[in-house]
């Protein structure tokens, strides 16, 4: 029997357990970690700093070879001088909003990571002076009313929520039905960003019953969403979230939790 097994194994030496990945495959997997919108954002931010560098120094920044000290110096100057395109001298929007500047910095940092540079312009101490420049400029702009502080959208009142619900159930037609489905999914799963909705498919939900035979839906796969504040991953954020087939009464909510 042992001889039979040995002969069988020797005859399968040409069969490989693992597939061979090409350099193109590896690059494709690495690129797949970012959404298309993130890639466009990175390209946009790099274009801005390269246009600034060409105007200021006559050449673009070589992100492949630039060292930390030189990049820190250039970033300090860039943060101080960067501004959006101005249609006329009367345009009020003469400075980027603070969130836009932080977005540009994050995008440049992603670009460096994509190039496999071992530097982080947000956290590394080598870029402290550049980040101090950015932080000081943003505070100065707000203080001088050059840039407006972040204004968050008003919280929807319970009265308005009732009006929205009444409208969504006011008629049975394809348009309102589509709004109703979007609203229910967004409210029950607390989604972040439009990328979430683009990923949804008919098999994105699994339909189950709880211990009281009440039907509910859960997410059937992990979804890519914007970063959850506090460090939660998307999988953890969607864990055990349920969308019931009937409105939850206070009693049902208590039993569910």
| Tens-binned pLDDT, residue by residue, of the chain (257 aa) | 555 555 555 555 578 888 888 888 888 887 778 888 889 999 999 999 999 999 999 999 999 999 999 999 999 999 999 988 874 444 455 788 888 999 999 999 999 999 999 999 999 999 999 999 999 999 998 888 776 666 667 788 888 888 888 888 887 788 888 888 888 887 777 655 556 666 777 777 888 888 888 888 887 765 544 444 333 344 444 556 788 886 544 444 444 44
Assess whether 123 and 165 both reside in one domain: no
Burial class (CB in 10 A: 0-12, 13-18, 19+), 191: buried
The count of domains in the chain is 2
Assess whether 40 and 135 both reside in one domain: yes
Tell me the whole-structure pTM to 2 decimals. 0.57
Phi, psi angles (nearest 5°) of residue 243: -120, 105
In a domain, 39, yes or no: yes
The alpha helices in the chain, defined as continuous H runs, are 2-10, 23-31, 36-57, 68-81, 98-114, 128-143, 158-168, 174-189, 195-199, 234-237, 250-256
Q: Residue 127 has which token pair?
A: 């870029």
Assess whether 138 and 167 both reside in one domain: no
The domain in which residue 84 lies consists of 35-143
In a domain, 25, yes or no: no
CA separation for the pair 156, 75 (Å, rounded): 40
């Amino acid at each position: 029997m042992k001889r039979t097994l040995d002969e069988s194994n020797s005859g399968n030496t040409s069969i490989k357990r693992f597939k061979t990945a090409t350099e193109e495959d590896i690059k494709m997997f690495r690129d797949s970690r970012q959404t298309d919108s993130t890639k466009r954002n990175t390209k946009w931010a790099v274009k801005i700093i390269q246009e600034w560098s060409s105007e200021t120094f006559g050449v673009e920044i070589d992100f492949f070879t630039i060292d930390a000290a030189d990049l820190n110096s250039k970033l300090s100057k860039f943060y101080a001088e960067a501004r959006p395109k101005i249609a006329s001298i009367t345009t009020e929007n003469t400075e980027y909003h603070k969130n836009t500047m932080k977005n540009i910095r994050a995008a440049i940092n992603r670009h460096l990571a994509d190039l496999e540079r071992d530097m982080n312009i947000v956290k590394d101490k080598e870029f402290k002076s550049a980040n101090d420049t950015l932080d000081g400029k943003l505070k100065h702009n707000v203080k001088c009313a050059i840039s407006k502080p972040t204004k968050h959208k008003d919280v929807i009142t319970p009265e308005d929520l009732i009006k929205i619900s009444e409208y969504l159930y006011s008629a049975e037609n394809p348009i309102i039905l589509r709004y109703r489905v979007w609203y229910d999914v967004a409210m029950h799963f607390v989604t972040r960003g439009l990328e979430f909705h683009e990923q949804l498919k008919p098999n994105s939900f699994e339909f189950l019953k709880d211990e009281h035979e009440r039907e509910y839906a859960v997410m059937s796969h992990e979804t890519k969403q914007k970063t959850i504040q506090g460090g939660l991953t998307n999988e953890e954020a969607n864990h055990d979230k349920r969308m019931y087939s009937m409105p939850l009464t206070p009693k049902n909510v208590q039993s569910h939790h």
